Homo-oligomer: A and B are copies of this chain.
Amino acid sequence: MMHPLDDLPTPSLLLDIDRLEANGERMRQRACQAGVRLRPHLKTLKSVDAARRVVDAGGAITVSTLTEAAHFAGHGFRDIVCAVCLPADKAARAAQVHRSIDGPGLATLVDSLPVAQAMADRLRTLDAVLPLWIEVDCGEHRTGVDPDGDELLALGRFLAGCPQTELRGVLTHGGQSYRCRDAEAVRAVAAQERDAVVHAAQRLRAAGIDCPGVSAGSTPTAVHGTDWTGVTELRPGVYMAGDLFQIQMRSLAREDLAVSVLASVISVKPGRAVIDAGGLALSKDRSLMGLPDDPGFGALSDLDGRPLGLQVAGVHQEHGEVPLPPGAPALQPGQRVRVWPVHVCMTAAAHGHYHVLRDGRPVGTWPRVNGWD
């Protein structure tokens, strides 16, 4: 008997719209209850069609590249934060996107006074303006200024006084939540995010610097955080799709996962099978390496999502190796399976579009905006 997924190519990327909408609604309610605005991060799904289902009309979004920023701006999104510190030579491109938008426009991040000064110099020659958020380090130690340091105030004074820039607020990302192993630990990181960014905002305000925005949040902290007092907006992103890593973080449940890779079994030998989704189609993300129930490069289910108890233990470029231990379900060459990704941001990026499903049936394709230009 034919299955609705039998006509799609393999490997290909599937997105379940029903689950996307449910995940979006659940996060929307969480933000509403917490009294903060939701500024969903589109770096995972990179899709205008997906964004329209999780973002309120005219609503605020977050992106991770200027390519995404220009794409979303071109599709009617009017309030965009590119949540990465840019080198000064990207200020012109960012300002161009900002200028193209009738609304709050595009803002980016800065975490250093010399970079802010270099950006202002370039913007001045173009007679352009770029809104900026000051990135604050809440303990991840990736980028961002010390919320207790002098650079925060120096940056705030410069941005507030510079005609080429517009200070939108302070922003942080508690990426250290990804090192947590239970909800209690994530809750502690959420408190670190809030404390650091609210403290930074208060220091700016105490110095007479206007700081309207106070932005925080990752999917784990947005799910597990309980008190966002003083924070104005949250920026989770992975929650729209979910992945095995987020299940381990208790951010979503197995039945919430909205993105999978459709694959075909291409070879079966005693004790092992090979599928046509390898390192390129799945990515080589091993974020769950060494943890209990490590799913390798992805967990297999049948076409209706029922787990097969099998995993992709090894990958080559176009081959995924699936060990078949004694008692494992038999796989046949040509059989189709779904692979549930470890880290959906990485897996989805290998694909140019989604085959979207409604009630388990393909109803079209949605393009992704990959890469950089």
Contacts and interface: CB of A to CB of B under 8 A. Distances in A.
Chain copies in complex: 2
A274 interface: yes
A306 interface: no
A194 interface: no
A334 B370 contact: no
A264 B265 CA distance: 41
Contact of A370 (B89, B118, B144, B352): B352
Nearest to A89: B334
A111 B266 CA distance: 9
Nearest to A85: B266
B286 A284 contact: yes
A211 to B, nearest CB: 21
Interface in A135-173: 137, 141-144
Nearest to A271: B141
B266 A86 contact: yes
A87 B284 contact: no
Nearest to A145: B269
A115 interface: yes
Interface string A307-324: 000000000111101000
A285 B315 CA distance: 11
Contact of A274 (B143, B317, B352): B143
A47 to B, nearest CB: 15
Interface stretch (A48-56, A96-104, A275-283): A275-283
Q: Is the interface of A mostly helix, strand, loop or mixed?
A: loop
A334 B88 contact: yes
Interface string A102-130: 00000000011011001000000000000
Interface residues of A, number: 58
A236 B372 CA distance: 30
A9 interface: yes
A205 interface: no
Contact of A142 (B65, B274, B334): B274
Interface string A234-268: 00000000000000000000000000000011111
A9 B372 contact: yes
Contact of A346 (B267, B284, B371): B284
Most buried by B among A141, A284, A319: A284
17 contacts: A12-B372, A84-B319, A85-B267, A85-B274, A86-B276, A88-B334, A114-B333, A118-B333, A118-B334, A137-B269, A142-B267, A143-B269, A280-B346, A283-B283, A283-B284, A284-B285, A284-B346
